[in-house]
A and B are shown apart, each in its own frame.
Chain A
Amino acid sequence: MPEMLTYLLRRSAFLVVSLVVAMMVIFVLLRLLPGDPANALLSVDATPEQIVAARAQVGSDRPLFEQFALWAGQMVRFDLGESYISTLPVGPEIATRLQITLPLTLLAFVLALLLSLVIGITAAVKADTWYGTVLSGFAQLGIAVPVFWVGILLVWVFALGLGVLPSGGFPRDDWEDPADALRSLALPVLTVAIVMSASLSRYIRAATLDVLGSDYLRTARAGGASLGEALLRHGVRNGAVPVIAVLGIELSTTLLGAVVVESVFTLPGLGSMLLTGIEQHDFANIQGVLVVSTLFVLLVGFLADIVQRLIDPRLRARVAGAR
């Protein structure tokens, strides 16, 4: 498929350009903040010489353009620099944090997907029954509820009330004892999954309703297929296209939503690194986390676009037609 190859090339170029633009935006926005990152290193008793030395250390005494060039130069070498404050290299620190944030995001995503498929399809197929209505109601409610509130509620029930799961934190030996690590992730994963499945199941319900009302489904059923067979053979593929676009966005949202969830559950992941980075004005850490998560979001969008095209020949035809 040469059309697909051209598309891949074009799409990859777009990804690279987006990343560069995002880097510039991140860099400039941070510099627009009032104050000086060197201040984080100083106390209220600092002498003028200490202030000068601190600015030199973090490089905030150089022209903005030079600072960006330095940073971009590092990035090309896949070096995210060193934290202003802890002086630890940012890259390895992010890698450590991802050991928590990635499993959290992916587990929550899979769980949310399963939940919302069941809820969304049931709510659509059984729209005229009482539990179909209840499930739609759950989805509506779920959208209105903030993530941290669900987290607090779950902590209240499972940690403070029943005492069966920890209220937060992550084992000191990380994944050495996977059961222990999973226990720590259980509530955060559940929190994210519940909130995510609420919005996701609405999309799935809408997509299913679309399919149910379609001519091709009626035709298939007229040809003798049961509802289940017709849905499986013709419905899934058609319904999947809009859902996958949403899934891509939701997966990205989950990663970014980790900031809130990790703070509620005291998980030392990417989100808490970003939060402390912002509190401490540690530009190196903030930039590192933002670039990595931007890359993640761009890659997910990239994959979602490609999967959509693989599923739906009409989209591929559109690319070919444009030639």
Chain B
Amino acid sequence: MKTPLALAATIVGAALVLAGCSSSTPSAEDAADATIAIGSLYEPQNLSNTQGGGQGVTEAFNGNVYEGLYKLTDDGKVEPLLAASEEVSEDGLTYTITLRDDVTFHSGKQLTSADVKASVEAVTAEDSKSARKSAFSVISGIETPDDTTVVFTLSQRSISFLYNLAYIWIINADAEDLTTTEDGTGPYTLDEWKQGSTLTLTRWDDYWGEPAANGEVVFTYFTEATAQNNALLTGEIDVITSIQSPDALEQFASNDDYTISEGTSTTKELLAFNDRVAPFDNALVRKAVYSAIDTEKLLTSIWGDYGTLIGSMVPPTDPWYEDLTDVNPYDVDLAKQQLAEAGYPDGFEFTLDTPSYDPHPVVAEFLQSQLAEVGITVNINTISADEWYTKVFQERDFEATLQEHVNDRDVVWYGNPDFYWGYDDAQVQQWVAEAEQAATTDEQTALLKQVNEKIAADAASVWLYLYPQIVVASSELSGYPVNGLNSQFFAYDIVKS
């Protein structure tokens, strides 16, 4: 009886025939019209930046479909985009911004100051879910004396005002529901969003600035890193925006067809204490915990040769960065001594609320074994991301937790005693407030450096390490951003040779 083998052969044969009739690949395509396929794990949840679209919508749309008055460049600088120029009053309370007069929306309407006013008001509106909402509470008035002039009046100085404006997309004020469509001013228009699969952007030929260097960008979304790596290996995608595990890197590192770029990220892995509760209300205990942890070993075990150690909340791309890794060195004897001094010679016990997703569970187990050496017992309590939000962030019902903090320039949260970690230092609060109201960036930088040093000396939290930002791309590709600041991924300079 040959039937089973014959049938199996027929099936495999049929699969191969199907494989044979693959659509012909366009080989002699002009580079300027090339399609760039970008692999990402972060599918947008919706297409609005004020309705909780998540980092996926920023990655796909920021700078590509929507533009702000200013933009944050890949190396962390603030540059004008839709703004042509700005004038700041002597007291720093009035910003008069002149708009470019050659900008139109994808729908064909000319950009005016009314659109800018409406876009800012959408972010500050009551029902806005924008993460940046609180940064704009300083705005006391927006006026539009003519079509190309917007005047912002602030209730107090805000040195970060232009930087914050870089996060606001300018959207056609007349557009209706934009949770599944768009009407921006960027170099691409949205062609199609297939939920669960792809988001396609097409070059817009009426763009006011330099046109995109490629014809089409397809963001392809994966739920699983291996599937994403395979797609890069088989050429179905050209680049992966952010590698989340070092395991897969070897297969690309040893192959000339791929280029691995390590940029600087702003994502910090934190062991955040609840500084309100004993024993973590005692800085000496926090310092002891910090010194009991071999962060270098931790980083290596998770990321291999990638990633950076940090000694405070500030990543190297922030202007007020300084190397503070020596403030709380890894030193078990020092840790024991500090514990004894604080009144815990035999250690203590605490519960670590650990988000269930990578890398937190691994980090928790590492901390458990390290802290056991100085007599501290760690009880790991695994919780979902959602539970974290309710229990830790909102209700502050925790002793210590692990969390990744992705934003740049977020050291200022240590100046807010109501933040979930409850670090309460009057001096730091004053410095943070003064820094925001500083007249010059130098003054701001100097003050935030002081904040840095103080929170490090107090071990307000344990800053375990800074994530690496790794982009893997086909070696045919050039012009892609490597730092991934603010989750953005400008696609318009990408060229496929």
Residues of A within 8 A of B (CB): 33-37, 39-47, 49-51, 53-54, 57, 85-88, 93, 96-97, 111, 114-115, 118-119, 122, 126, 135, 152, 155, 158-160, 163-170, 172, 177, 179-180, 182-183, 186-187, 190, 263-266, 268-269, 272-273, 275-276, 280-281
A166 touches B224 (CB 8 A): no
Q: A36-B386, A88-B195, A275-B223 known; A168 and B16 CB under 8 Å?
A: no
| B12 to A: closest C-beta gap in Å | 8
A43 touches B131 (CB 8 A): yes
CB pairs A–B below 8 angstroms (10 shown): A34-B383, A34-B387, A35-B386, A122-B4, A165-B19, A168-B230, A172-B194, A172-B200, A190-B11, A266-B227
Contacts of B234 in A (CB 8 A): 159-160, 163, 166-167
Contacts of B11 in A (CB 8 A): 111, 115, 190
Q: Other than the known A57-B127, A163-B234, A172-B192, what 12 A-B pairs have Cβ atoms closer than 8 Å?
A: A34-B387, A35-B384, A41-B52, A43-B130, A86-B179, A158-B19, A160-B234, A172-B218, A183-B21, A186-B19, A264-B227, A276-B223
Contacts of A44 in B (CB 8 A): 131, 393, 405
Q: Can you list the 6 inter-chain pairs with the closest CB atoms, starting with the nearest?
A: A35-B386, A268-B196, A43-B131, A268-B197, A41-B52, A164-B19
A201, B132: Cα distance in complex, Å: 58
Contacts of B389 in A (CB 8 A): 35-36, 39, 42
A186, B224: Cα distance in complex, Å: 20
A93, B180: Cα distance in complex, Å: 13
| A33 to B: closest C-beta gap in Å | 8
| A232 to B: closest C-beta gap in Å | 15
CB-CB nearest in chain A for B137: A47
CB-CB nearest in chain B for A269: B196
| Number of residues of chain B lying within 8 A (CB) of chain A | 62
Q: Is B28 close to A, CB under 8 A?
A: no
A276, B8: Cα distance in complex, Å: 35
One of A35, A40, A49, A118 near B3 (C-beta < 8 A): A118
Main secondary structure of the interface of A (DSSP, over half): helix
| B280 to A: closest C-beta gap in Å | 20
One of A47, A118, A281 near B133 (C-beta < 8 A): A47
Q: A35-B384, A50-B129, A172-B192 known; A118 and B4 CB under 8 Å?
A: yes
Residues of B within 8 A of A (CB): 1, 3-4, 7-8, 11, 15-16, 18-23, 43, 45-46, 51-52, 126-134, 179-180, 192, 194-198, 200, 218, 220-224, 226-228, 230-231, 233-234, 236, 383-387, 389-391, 393-394, 405
Contacts of A169 in B (CB 8 A): 197, 220, 231, 236
A190, B405: Cα distance in complex, Å: 42
| B138 to A: closest C-beta gap in Å | 14
A190, B18: Cα distance in complex, Å: 13
A87 touches B46 (CB 8 A): yes
Contacts of B128 in A (CB 8 A): 50
Contacts of B51 in A (CB 8 A): 41, 87
One of B22, B196, B228, B230 near A160 (C-beta < 8 A): B230
A44, B418: Cα distance in complex, Å: 13
B195 touches A40 (CB 8 A): no
Contacts of B43 in A (CB 8 A): 276
B15 touches A165 (CB 8 A): yes
A114, B11: Cα distance in complex, Å: 11
